[in-house]
């Protein structure tokens, strides 16, 4: 009973500590205060770079409207985050963003996740190639022929292997 009580008290303590943490994106990615502090600095630096790059009024701490004005406010640049991102002048609000629509969550999603997601999914053929090559040494010649044919290669022989894998 004592162990159960200690376990429950520990879980309550964890829940209380996590309540103070920032949550990013609608998926609920919890970050520690250290990560949140770093992310705050990263977003501020990214925003300053945009302001300086476009020579916006307000210097390195310009507003979204000032950044858009500096590039001629094409197509109502400052009306929505998507439009300003499209013109590469998004000034991200440096705020907690559990929904992932504005603030640090939006920054993480559009700077880190979306650009890298297609590469993470990868090419199905490449995944099949990796799977086959992981077992290549153990394959018999018949298994190698099957693998080579499945991936559009010629039949393998001892004298002339299909060289599917190194």
Q: Which helix (H) or strand (E) holds 22?
A: strand 22-24
29-38, 52-61, 122-131: range with lowest mean pLDDT = 122-131
Alpha helices by DSSP H, the chain: 2-19, 33-53, 64-70, 81-86, 104-107, 114-121, 124-134, 141-150
- The answer, yes or no, to whether residue 10 has pLDDT greater than 90, is no
CA dist 153 and 14 (Å) reads 55
pLDDT at 7: 32
Residue spans of the domains in the chain: they are 20-121, 122-166
| Residue 127 three-state SS | helix
- pLDDT tens for 54-79 read 999 989 999 999 999 999 988 889 88
pLDDT at 5: 33
Higher pLDDT, 27 or 114: 114
**Burial of residue 16, with CB atoms counted within 10 A of its CB: 0-12 exposed, 13-18 middle, 19 or more buried:** exposed
- The answer, yes or no, to whether residue 48 has pLDDT greater than 70, is yes
CA dist 97 and 123 (Å) reads 32
Rg (CA), the chain: 26
């Amino acid at each position: 009973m004592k162990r159960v009580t200690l376990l429950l008290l520990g879980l309550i303590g964890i829940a209380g500590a996590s309540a103070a943490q920032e949550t990013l994106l609608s998926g609920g990615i919890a970050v520690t205060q250290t990560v949140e502090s770093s992310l705050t600095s990263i977003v501020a630096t990214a925003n300053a770079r945009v302001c300086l790059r476009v020579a916006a009024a307000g210097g390195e701490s310009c507003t979204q409207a000032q950044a858009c004005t500096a590039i001629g406010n094409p197509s109502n640049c400052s009306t929505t985050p998507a439009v300003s991102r499209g013109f590469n002048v998004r000034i991200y609000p440096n705020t907690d963003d559990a929904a992932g629509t504005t603030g640090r969550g939006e920054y993480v999603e559009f700077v880190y996740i979306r650009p890298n997601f297609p590469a993470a999914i990868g090419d199905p053929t490449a995944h099949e190639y990796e799977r086959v090559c992981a077992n290549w040494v153990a394959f018999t010649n018949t298994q190698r022929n099957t693998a080579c044919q499945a991936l559009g290669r010629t039949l393998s022989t001892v004298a002339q292997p299909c060289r599917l894998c190194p």
